[in-house]
Structure 1
């Protein structure tokens, strides 16, 4: 998972679930999505430095992963996110070479505002070059700015901002004003360098001026027992009259994880590096949740949906010790197996989980029907 200041992307997601902020008041009367079936089906692929030498970014590994996303997962889209312009651009270039649709979303956290915008602009310029060369590219200016960008919510780091949000140590009016200001600045920066479809990945309850963007992007982690309840909730995002992309959806790998939504990660004692309590690993639970949601998205004819996420190198699977099986707290559709489980420098490989195979079947069927 993407790492910043020692906190994983899965932990970032907890902020949205814990806020309890009111949903945006959306204008009435916009249209439902036209037609049926997703336009783009894919997976989130995070690039970053890694937490240890063994999980550091590797160009060779990335190339193999992108091929697997196309050939084994049968996805037509990859959502490339994380930080580091060279890592991001190398990954999207490989995805373009493999014929995948690209959703590029640079996410530089805990840096000065100017650095975040320049990081975004450099990635946007590269995305525009690919688009002009004929690649299929959407560009997202970022993800959940209130959490990643200093100065919107009190706190110097993501972890501090999460704590302040959870404890109510912030002014919601000032927060929204600062968020609106930065979002507008990010959209302007994105427009200045990229001339294709522009988007942003918001948490479910975020208030966003979607007039700034071409595609509404939502990180979606709800749990409902009936498909109709998902549809009812998702329709609120269609009222803007713009295409809707589910920029993240997924769950962890234990019984009860879907009910925890974006808080599913919160089962790890990070000081001990162990799973808390006596969780029951269940790849079936993860697979069933993902395929149920995918069926909803397909039935609504949404613009796209990207499962979170392809691989989480820093959450390895341990079949021999459930309390060391950090993969249970991961949203990844693959499980990481280390050659030497207790060695941070150990070589590792991933193996598909049930969720991988279930998505591959659904993605593959859609590919067959479209030919």
Structure 2
């Protein structure tokens, strides 16, 4: 989600303009609720090109990570997301070969609509080839289009669009019309190249016509003191009578991060060189781990289709022990911490180490796997 703008604030403005979706009849609406347990357990794996030479995408590293996701995290699903068709397809193929369920989600942004749709089509054609070869694969047509696809909200890039939203330089009715139009286009492209189950990763308060898709996909970052509030909020997504997948959930590793409602990453001063953590944050891997475990318990109680923790690793947010001012990992959602061989060197090699959140997920995922045997 965007810097300085919560989903709740933005979508509250949309609601005040009367922009609500027409809900399809529920049919067998509570079927997903009736199923016991969480059907698929996963993690988001981002395949971006990296911000520095040291964090550039590596096929060898990716293969090691996929094995760790299966063997150490005990996940059965990997959400392969990001841009670059070669990176996406190589990672999806590796995950499928390792026996993992693949949730393939291209997220090319800040380029013309035509390029976004071509990128989706090419990725979707590969997903279809995997599916026909017997792999368990689902295709998501993208993530939060209103933020990442130009032309829906005015602005040349994500941050300019955020400013326009914050400053009220957006016609919500026109924005909603453009969003619906593009979502329909993306669904049409997805259907034309992929014949398995189709989805989309929406912000949790977005109003989407889920009749376009087979699986409801929600990026979920709420934080409540009462477990019943999570259940009540999530149940409204079951009214479509379709499987519900949590396409992202997670938080950062500092005290108070879960209460930021998905904005925990917005604590870095990017104008400083090197970048600094703003304020006086207290690192707490326990806070992150406890939040993920709590949400997994809720998802399990509702019998949801899938949940993918965000995210496996964030190479460009290194952990710097003993240096809280520059410990960028505190602002990362990763369940592993990135440790550079040579801190502050953009060419430095690095490795990841599991955080408490990794171990918490591994315990839950392993338990679920044993129960489903």
TM-score range, shorter chain: over 0.9
Q: 1-side partners of 2:329 and 2:258: how far apart?
A: 15
Partner of 2:117: 117
Alignment of 1:1-371 (within 5 A): 11=2, 14=5, 16-19=7-10, 20=12, 21-22=14-15, 24-25=20-21, 26-27=23-24, 29=26, 31-32=29-30, 33=32, 34-272=34-272, 273-371=275-373
Q: 1:18 Cα shift?
A: 4.2
Deviations 1:92-138 (A, max 9, x none): 00000000000000000011111110100000000000000000001
RMSD, aligned CA: 1.4
Contact 1:249 1:290 in 2 (8 A): yes
Structure 2 residues without counterparts, runs of 5 or longer? none
What displacement does 1:16 show? 2.5
Distance in 2, matches of 1:266 and 1:63, equals 31
SS at match of 1:263: coil
1:127 aligns to what SS in structure 2?
A: helix
CA distance in 1, matches of 2:247, 2:26: 24
Q: Structure 1: how far apart are the matches of 2:264 and 2:166?
A: 16
The 8 Å contact of residues 47 and 81 in structure 2, kept in 1 or not, is answered as yes
SS at match of 1:48: coil
- Contact 2:5/2:166 (CA < 8 Å) preserved in 1? no
Q: Deviation of residue 38 (structure 1)?
A: 1.1
Q: Kindly indicate whether the alpha-carbon contact (under 8 Å) linking 1:24 and 1:205 is maintained by their aligned counterparts in 2.
A: no
Cα distance in 2 between the residues matched to 1:56 and 1:219: 26
On the 8 A contact 1:254/1:328 being kept in 2, the answer is yes
Cα distance, 1:207 vs structure 2: 1.5
Assess if the C-alpha contact under 8 Å between 1:15 and 1:166 holds in 2.
Answer: no
The SS at the match of 1:42 is strand
Q: Which runs of 5+ in 1 are unaligned?
A: 1-9
Contact residue 18 and residue 166 of structure 1 kept, 8 A? no
Q: Deviations over 1:69-106 (max 9, x none)?
A: 00000000000000000000000000000000000000
SS in 2 for 1:290: helix
Q: CA deviation at 1:29?
A: 4.6
CA distance in 1, matches of 2:345, 2:364: 37
The 2-side partners of 1:360 and 1:180 are apart by 38
CA distance in 2, matches of 1:71, 1:167: 47
The answer on whether the counterparts of 1:12 and 1:147 sit within 8 Å (CA) in structure 2 is: no
SS in 1 for 2:262: helix
State the distance in 2 between where 1:71 and 1:300 align.
26
Give TM-score, length-normalised by structure 2.
0.95
**Cα distance between partner residues in 2 of 1:78 and 1:301:** 19
Q: Distance in 2 between matches of 1:11 and 1:114?
A: 23
Q: Structure 1 residues 13, 355: CA separation in 2 closer, same or farther (over 3 Å shift)?
A: farther
Please report how far the alpha carbon of residue 57 of structure 1 lies from its aligned counterpart in structure 2 after TM superposition: 0.4
CA distance in 2, matches of 1:294, 1:24: 29
- Contact 2:102 / 2:138 at 8 angstroms: preserved in 1? yes
